[in-house]
């Protein structure tokens, strides 16, 4: 049966849709192609999908509830991978209502479409490691059973709200759901607002990079192919009816920001001029995924380490921008 992937012109959605097509699924992609970052990159991602048999793209906003419901109903949809959202911690300080529309109204629209769909089988949706707040980096990863009650950004608050909305809908209407808390995804076709991508743009242009938190932050950088492995594994293993299952999806090896920059410099063959800046509002000091639950469910095991992943990204970056 056909699967809907929302955010299919986005970084993660584009890769998930390709993986589903690779294994013979039919996919309907949904995306509004907004201008949060360069729409040309979204168009280029979408073009790689539109060229493939079994795929069609619907240019629409997920917050359009009647249209979303009709799309699910008219195509007999039983599974959705819901990845569309307004991303970015810092942007949520500038344009909070974008998060209300995309993340809250958009998620509710998807939930309503699912609950009215006959025989709906599984909704997999994107949450975020941001829901953990500014948790100190200890010797163990963040676990799904820890409280997630102290968000430090509106973006994080909307993602936690989506988890709670899903819990209510699973309980009320019975359809199984899985929320995936993503930890810093990177790789080819990535988002230009992410640090590794924006650093690359500046380094290649000979411009200085701004290093926030005085470089004393750490992130659980997770390569895109590993993320897709986890998403597909979760999709294929739905929880029981009336359950909203929450799972971390990350690399489980946090890397310091300065080490990431050093690795990126090596991949690019260029040194960066660094300007040290204080931590920005909404940022967290560190992220670290405990992925034992996802591993037990699917056998998930990240395979691409940061050095290899950033080299792949650097190679893609050169090829993509050389052609433009």
Rounded Cα distance between 176 and 108, Å, is 15
- Cα dihedral 182, 187, 188, 190 sign: positive
- Joined together, the tokens standing for residue 163 give 């988890």
Cα angle 241-247-30, degrees, rounded to a multiple of 5? 75
Report DSSP state, residue 131. Answer: G
Rounded Cα distance between 324 and 316, Å, is 13
Check residue 195 and give its pLDDT.
95
Give the active site residue among 155, 169, 186, 223.
155
Place of tokens 């380094």: 203
Check residue 131 and give its pLDDT.
96
Check residue 58 and give its pLDDT.
98
92 Cβ contact partners less than 8 Å away, ≥ 6 residues apart: 86, 98, 99, 153, 154, 155, 158, 282
Beta strands in the chain (DSSP E): 3-6, 27-31, 55-59, 79-82, 122-128, 177-182, 185-186, 209-211, 218-219, 222-223, 244-249, 255-256, 274-276
Cα angle 83-28-184, degrees, rounded to a multiple of 5? 20
pLDDT tens by residue, the chain, 324 residues: 899 999 999 999 999 999 999 999 999 999 999 999 999 999 999 999 999 999 999 999 999 999 999 999 999 999 999 999 999 888 998 999 999 999 999 999 999 999 999 999 999 999 999 999 998 777 789 999 998 999 999 999 999 999 999 999 999 999 999 999 999 999 999 999 999 999 999 999 999 999 998 888 999 999 999 999 999 999 999 999 999 999 999 999 999 999 999 999 999 999 999 999 998 888 899 999 999 999 999 999 999 999 999 999 999 999 999 877
Rounded Cα distance between 4 and 120, Å, is 12
Check residue 161 and give its pLDDT.
98
- Joined together, the tokens standing for residue 42 give 């979204």
State the pTM of this model.
0.96
Phi first, then psi: give them for residue 62, nearest 5 degrees.
-65, -20
**What is residue 311's three-state secondary structure?**
helix
Check residue 210 and give its pLDDT.
94
Rounded Cα distance between 98 and 83, Å, is 16
Rounded Cα distance between 226 and 69, Å, is 31
The CA-based diameter of the chain, rounded to the nearest angstrom, is: 57
Report DSSP state, residue 244. Answer: E
Check residue 140 and give its pLDDT.
83
Check residue 136 and give its pLDDT.
77
Rounded Cα distance between 295 and 248, Å, is 10
- Joined together, the tokens standing for residue 169 give 């809908």
183 Cβ contact partners less than 8 Å away, ≥ 6 residues apart: 129, 219, 220, 221, 222, 248, 249, 250, 251, 287, 288, 289
- Joined together, the tokens standing for residue 265 give 């410099």
Check residue 282 and give its pLDDT.
85
* Active-site residue flag, 288: no
């Amino acid at each position: 049966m056909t699967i809907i992937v929302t955010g299919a012109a986005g970084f993660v959605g584009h890769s998930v849709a390709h993986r589903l097509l690779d294994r013979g699924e039919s996919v309907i992609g949904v995306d509004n192609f907004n201008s949060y970052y360069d729409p040309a990159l979204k168009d280029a991602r979408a073009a790689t999908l539109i060229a493939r048999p079994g795929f069609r793209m619907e240019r629409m906003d997920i917050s359009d509830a009647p249209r979303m419901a009709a799309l699910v109903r008219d195509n007999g949809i039983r599974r959705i991978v819901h990845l569309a959202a307004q991303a970015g911690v810092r942007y949520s300080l500038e344009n909070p209502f974008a998060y209300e529309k995309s993340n809250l109204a958009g998620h509710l629209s998807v939930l309503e479409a699912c609950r009215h769909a006959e025989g709906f089988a599984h909704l997999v949706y994107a949450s975020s490691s941001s829901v953990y707040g500014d948790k100190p980096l200890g010797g163990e990863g963040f676990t799904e059973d820890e409280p997630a009650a102290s968000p430090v950004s509106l973006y994080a608050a909307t993602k936690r709200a989506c988890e709670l909305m899903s819990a209510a809908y699973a309980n009320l209407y019975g359809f199984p759901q899985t929320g995936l808390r993503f930890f810093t995804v990177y790789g080819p076709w990535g988002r230009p607002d992410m640090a590794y991508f924006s650093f690359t743009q500046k380094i290649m242009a000979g411009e200085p990079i701004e290093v926030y938190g005085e470089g004393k932050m750490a992130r659980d950088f997770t390569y895109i192919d590993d993320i897709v492995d986890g998403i597909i594994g979760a999709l294929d293993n739905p929880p029981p009816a009336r359950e909203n299952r929450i799972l971390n999806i990350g690399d489980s090896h946090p890397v310091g920001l300065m080490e990431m920059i050093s690795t990126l410099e090596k991949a690019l063959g260029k040194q960066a001029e660094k300007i040290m800046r204080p931590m920005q509002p909404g940022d967290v000091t560190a992220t670290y995924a405990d992925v034992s639950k996802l591993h037990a469910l699917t056998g998930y095991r990240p395979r691409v380490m940061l050095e290899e992943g950033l080299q792949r990204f650097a190679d893609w970056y050169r090829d993509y921008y050389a052609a433009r």
